[in-house]
């Protein structure tokens, strides 16, 4: 509830920003408050759906919903900017969070089970601060270093960020130690990091290509991403049944389909093929993504004991956000240096790396 209300108010602050600095500050608050919601979602699913097969289906739906929201965001943003009510322009993409936030709060009051929490739970502000500072120190030079000509401070900041992240893991573990002793959980996090880094870079590169290279207006660029969302929607409906039947092989199937779609995207861009070919490639990538979201999240969280779900989901959410930021930074730099073809091929390489890491996961679904 605190996260939903705070995220909504921070969105209003974003819309009211009068300078880039104000917008960045409001976005920091928006991200921090939004992060309070995701682990609670996973925890509530685990508490409500106690039977393993039922819980697996819930997780399988949760993943694609999140994926569709991430893909659908640019489409909605394009519509809102094109609508431009009262000349609000980009500010509408933040104000739309107000009715969504109100619905989330009222929905939580009406339908979510009450939970007073565990006041004996120990907070780890030092670990959280180290992770936040380390993440910022890693991402910042990757984004700004290229434009600044890679000065010495970019490498120093990057090294300091890695030290801070290592310190968080060694001296102040914010993840339950028992989870880190489970190979399946650690391997699942590794898969998630590579997967979401590639996804973040792909969506950024594709959006930039549509607007900067093809000169699409925001609305047209958003609609051009619709085939990716359509692919996710279709294949995510098949994922729960396929996951039960294929086990770990479904992750390889999804990565294979995504790989074909991304390689096709690189070919389409390199040859200058018309938009229908671009849409078909995006649809193929989306079909692969829809097979991955739910089953991957389910496998990562399935190894957590009931008392570890909060820690596991928090670690997964942090890994997803950090990986997406890194993917945007690294592949965004690659895009501006070499274009979408090189970016797509880098994402294809991430699919191959994910396929290798998936071999470390158990073959069958865990209860």
354 pLDDT band, cuts 50/70/90, is very high
pTM of the predicted model as reported, rounded to 2 decimal places: 0.81
Which tokens in the block code for residue 82? 């094109």
Does a structural domain hold residue 127? no
Average pLDDT of the chain is 86
In a domain, 179, yes or no: yes
Residue 247 lies inside a defined structural domain of this protein: yes
Structural domain boundaries enclosing 205:
52-83+175-358
Query: CA-to-CA distance for 123 and 272, rounded, in angstroms?
Result: 53
Output the furthest CA–CA distance in the chain (Å, rounded): 61
Q: Which long-range contacts (CB under 8 A, 24 or more apart) does 36-42 make?
A: 36/2, 36/3, 36/6, 37/3, 37/4, 37/7, 38/313, 38/314, 38/317, 39/310, 39/313, 39/314, 39/317, 40/3, 41/313, 42/301, 42/309, 42/310, 42/312, 42/313, 42/316, 42/317
> Quick one: which of 101, 88, 125, 133 has its CA closest to 5?
101
Q: Quick check: is 117 in a domain?
A: no
Report the share of the chain in percent with pLDDT over 90: 38
Distance between CA atoms of residues 197 and 193, nearest Å: 6
Q: Has residue 24 got a pLDDT over 60?
A: yes
Q: 239 in a domain, yes or no?
A: yes
Structural domain includes residue 94: no
Of the pLDDT bands very low, low, confident and very high (cuts 50, 70, 90), residue 60 is: low
Q: What percent of the chain has pLDDT over 70?
A: 95
* pLDDT reported for residue 246: 86
Predicted pLDDT of residue 366: 52
- The reported pLDDT for the residue numbered 50 is 73
User: Has residue 168 been placed in a domain?
Assistant: no
* pLDDT tens string 168-217: 877 766 677 788 888 888 899 999 999 999 998 998 899 899 989 999 88
- Write the CATH number for 269: 1.20.1250
**Two tokens at 305?**
């004991």
Domain assignment of residue 141, yes or no: no
- Number of independent structural domains in the chain: 1
- pLDDT-wise least confident of 38-47, 316-325, 327-336: 38-47
């Amino acid at each position: 509830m605190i996260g939903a209300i705070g995220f909504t108010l921070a969105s209003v602050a974003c819309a009211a920003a009068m300078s880039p600095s104000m917008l960045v500050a409001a976005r920091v608050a928006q991200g921090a408050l939004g992060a309070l919601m995701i682990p609670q979602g996973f925890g509530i699913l685990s508490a409500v759906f106690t039977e393993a097969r039922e819980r697996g289906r819930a997780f399988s739906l949760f993943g694609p919903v999140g994926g569709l929201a991430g893909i659908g965001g640019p489409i909605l943003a394009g519509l809102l900017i094109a609508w431009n009510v009262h000349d609000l322009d980009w500010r509408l993409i933040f104000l739309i969070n107000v009715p969504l936030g109100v619905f989330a709060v009222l929905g939580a009051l009406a339908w979510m089970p009450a939970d007073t929490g565990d006041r004996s739970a120990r907070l780890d502000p030092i670990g959280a601060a180290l992770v936040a500072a380390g993440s910022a120190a890693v991402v910042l030079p990757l984004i700004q270093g290229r434009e600044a000509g890679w000065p010495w401070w970019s490498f120093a900041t990057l090294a300091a960020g890695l030290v801070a992240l290592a310190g968080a893991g060694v001296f102040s573990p914010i993840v339950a130690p028992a989870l880190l002793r489970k190979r399946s959980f650690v391997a699942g996090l590794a898969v998630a990091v590579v997967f979401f880094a590639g996804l973040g870079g792909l969506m950024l590169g594709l959006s930039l290509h549509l607007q900067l290279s093809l000169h699409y207006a925001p609305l047209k660029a958003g609609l051009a991403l619709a085939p990716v969302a359509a692919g996710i929607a279709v294949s995510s409906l098949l994922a729960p049944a396929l996951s039960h039947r294929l086990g770990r092989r479904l992750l390889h199937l999804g990565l294979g389909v995504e790989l074909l779609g991304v390689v096709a995207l690189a070919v389409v861009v390199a040859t200058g093929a018309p938009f229908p070919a671009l849409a078909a490639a995006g649809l193929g990538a989306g079909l692969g993504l829809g097979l991955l979201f739910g089953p991957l999240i389910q496998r990562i969280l399935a190894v957590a004991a009931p008392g570890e779900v909060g820690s596991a989901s928090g670690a997964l959410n942090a890994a997803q956000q950090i990986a997406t930021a890194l993917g945007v930074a690294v592949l965004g730099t690659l895009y501006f240096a070499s274009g979408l073809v090189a970016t797509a091929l880098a994402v294809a390489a991430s699919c191959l790396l994910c396929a290798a890491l998936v071999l470390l996961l158990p073959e069958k679904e865990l209860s």
